[in-house]
Chain A
Amino acid sequence: MKRLIKIELQKLLLNRTSKILIFISFILPLCVILLSSIKINFFGFFTLELGELGIFNFPIIWQITTYFSALFKFFFAIVVVSMVGNEYSNKTLKQNLIDGLTKKEFILSKFYVIIFFSLVSTVIIFILSLILGLIYSSYDEFNIIIREMEFLIAYFVKLVGFFSFCLFLGVLAKRSAFALAFLFIDLILEWIVLGVITWKGNYELAQKVQGLFPLTSMSNLIKQPFQRIAMTKFPGNSDIIYDYSVHFETVLIVITWTLIFIYSSFSILKKRDL
């Protein structure tokens, strides 16, 4: 496993474009979160301090940091898609196999790197949120801190699932641009499914069905935190109450998709003549 990760990391980190994209997708969200924690003084007119909104309170901070940094996953998605696309366009996939890599090892090396980067990202988010929370949170009892840390698990599963989807599309389409187009098409398809079922049946059923699809299930893992922030400000308003927690079924759906994507990538590659 170490060998496969080393092989893949060498391919990625010596390539300047992917190095920049990796940097953007993992470091940029941290900068944004860090910046938001700073008290910004607008020329003495007023000061903006997001910390005062309570977004750095435990346990809501886990949801907020994971939700926002997950938005930057698209940059690494480009890396994943191009790390397959480039192997096709440079014909290095063929050469790798001739040199003695098996098709299974080829897919696994990419998958391990996906897990590796997702893990690194999760750990960074964990440390950063912990530090920010300890500085700004109004509550710092141990019980409250560890509450809702399942958002970190959801974040990790979400990243691995999304990047595995990209890997699969990359293997399927062979070219980076087409793979990203497929990703976009799937996004539209999932909304069409929602629309059609709502039209023929009802919205509740449609949402349930849509939740089985890859992109929707991934986005359901960590729901948007805005309503929740509003809820803390206006606790009496029952209109804005919603279920923001991480559901075990959603995690299971995403893990199932991940396994399907990795296995199909392997079986597509196995059948293909290079």
Chain B
Amino acid sequence: MNSILNISNLTKKFGHLTAVKNLSFNIEKGNVYGILGPNGSGKSTTLGIVLNVVNKTSGEFHWYDGSLTTHQALKKVGAIIERPNFYPYMTAYQNLKLVCRIKEISHDSINKTLEIVGLLNRKDYVFDNFSLGMKQRLAIASALLNDPEILILDEPTNGLDPQGIHQIREIIKKIAEAGTTILLASHLLDEVEKVCSHVVVLNKGVNIFSGRVDELISSNGFFELKTSQQDELIDLIDSHTNFVRTKIEGELITAFLKLPMEAEEFNKLLFKNGIILSHLVKRKESLEEQFLQLTENE
């Protein structure tokens, strides 16, 4: 039984607006998934649906191949959504105790999870007085209480300062190394690039890519070029079959590759044609550039 969550043709409409449209993907055990998408692309709505707080309009989702009801499955899931939500007048410990009661698990793991997120010495402090970073760490502690098979995180570093972001990332990495399946929704691409093995890209509620992260980034890359003989260079690139398109920004010419080509080989070719370069760099697109391209095409 490797499938944890299976989503097929999920649709959610808010009035006239379609927030999620015919979305399908699978979450399998042991991988770290990223859900990418600009703000308003339906990430949180999708998570809300599978977490039972948003009603779907149509489509299906099944936890554990349908062997458990959503309500039973959620007790095996650890999830935090956007903002840490706790009772402000209770202490960290009391808040976690309440979660234990809801999940029907023993209170023994509270101290252990508080230790993981570094809040053990703050356990008797009232939640209201915590900083946002501490609140978010408490939320992670709460999500870890039941030793979950899958951890769902929605924008876990949103609104945090650089130290806070770093702390949360370290915790996520540690959890991922322990073999826990993670589903991370974010619009911060380097975050996803750093921790995720698989990625689902959403735009306007539509799934535009799902697969491994390295598949998404595996393009042939591009050249950044500068020369005094700009017109000749562009003519040559346009007539060459290896390239898809060029982009000119002032002095800098960017040539995108359709077929693989080494910088050395390209330089040789140019030199043979009498074009001398003052600048030549071969680069691969980052996840960010890939993502922008993908979402632009839609």
Which residue numbers of A lie inside 8 Å of B, CB to CB?
Answer: 3, 6-7, 10-11, 14-16, 86, 90-92, 94-102, 270-271, 273-274
CA gap between A197 and B63 in the complex, in Å: 56
CA gap between A6 and B52 in the complex, in Å: 23
Q: Which of these binds chain A: B82-90, B185-193, B195-203?
A: B82-90
- Across the interface, which residues of A come within 8 angstroms of B137, CB to CB? none
By the criterion CB–CB under 8 Å, are A7 and B98 in contact? yes
> Chain B CB within 10 Å — which of A6, A10, A100 has the most?
A100
Q: Is B120 an interface position by the 8 A CB rule?
A: no
By the criterion CB–CB under 8 Å, are A99 and B99 in contact? yes
By the criterion CB–CB under 8 Å, are B101 and A91 in contact? no
CA gap between A274 and B81 in the complex, in Å: 11
- Across the interface, which residues of B come within 8 angstroms of A90, CB to CB? 85-88
Min CB–CB distance A15 → chain B (angstroms): 5
Chain B residue nearest to A16 (CB atoms) is B89
- Across the interface, which residues of A come within 8 angstroms of B101, CB to CB? 3, 6-7, 10
Partner of A95 from B72, B86, B88, B97 at Cβ < 8 Å? B86
CA gap between A91 and B54 in the complex, in Å: 14
Range class of the B interface residue count = 20 to 34
The proximity string for B residues 90-102 relative to A, scoring 1 for CB distances below 8 Å and 0 otherwise, is 1000100111011
Sample of 12 more A-B contacts, CB < 8 Å, known A94-B53, A98-B52, A273-B54: A15-B89, A16-B89, A91-B85, A92-B87, A94-B85, A97-B52, A98-B74, A98-B81, A99-B74, A100-B75, A101-B102, A102-B52
By the criterion CB–CB under 8 Å, are B90 and A14 in contact? yes
Q: Is B103 an interface position by the 8 A CB rule?
A: yes
Q: Is B251 an interface position by the 8 A CB rule?
A: no
CA gap between A168 and B101 in the complex, in Å: 25
Q: Is B218 an interface position by the 8 A CB rule?
A: no
By Cβ-Cβ distance, the 6 closest A-B pairs, closest first, are A95-B85, A100-B75, A91-B85, A100-B74, A274-B53, A273-B54
Chain B residue nearest to A272 (CB atoms) is B55
Q: Is B240 an interface position by the 8 A CB rule?
A: no
By the criterion CB–CB under 8 Å, are B53 and A7 in contact? no
Chain B residue nearest to A7 (CB atoms) is B101
Q: Is B194 an interface position by the 8 A CB rule?
A: no
By the criterion CB–CB under 8 Å, are A98 and B86 in contact? no
Number of contacts between A and B (CB, 8 Å)?
A: 74
- Across the interface, which residues of B come within 8 angstroms of A99, CB to CB? 74-75, 79, 99, 102-103, 142
Min CB–CB distance B12 → chain A (angstroms): 9
Min CB–CB distance A268 → chain B (angstroms): 12
- Across the interface, which residues of B come within 8 angstroms of A95, CB to CB? 81, 85-86
- Across the interface, which residues of A come within 8 angstroms of B86, CB to CB? 90, 92, 95
Q: Is B265 an interface position by the 8 A CB rule?
A: no
- Across the interface, which residues of A come within 8 angstroms of B74, CB to CB? 97-100
- Across the interface, which residues of A come within 8 angstroms of B88, CB to CB? 90
Q: Is B51 an interface position by the 8 A CB rule?
A: yes
Can you give 26 contacting A-B residue pairs, CB < 8 Å?
A3-B101, A6-B101, A7-B98, A7-B101, A10-B94, A10-B97, A14-B87, A14-B89, A14-B90, A15-B89, A90-B86, A92-B85, A94-B53, A94-B85, A95-B86, A97-B53, A98-B51, A99-B79, A99-B102, A99-B103, A100-B71, A100-B74, A100-B77, A100-B104, A102-B71, A274-B54
CA gap between A94 and B102 in the complex, in Å: 13
Min CB–CB distance A105 → chain B (angstroms): 9
CA gap between A100 and B77 in the complex, in Å: 9
Min CB–CB distance A42 → chain B (angstroms): 44
Min CB–CB distance B17 → chain A (angstroms): 12
- Across the interface, which residues of B come within 8 angstroms of A270, CB to CB? 55
Min CB–CB distance B56 → chain A (angstroms): 10
Given known pairs A94-B85, A274-B48, the reply for A11 and B98 (CB within 8 Å) is: yes
Chain A residue nearest to B75 (CB atoms) is A100
Partner of B53 from A10, A16, A86, A98 at Cβ < 8 Å? A98
CA gap between A100 and B51 in the complex, in Å: 9
Within 8 A of A (CB), among B110-145: 142
Chain B residue nearest to A106 (CB atoms) is B102
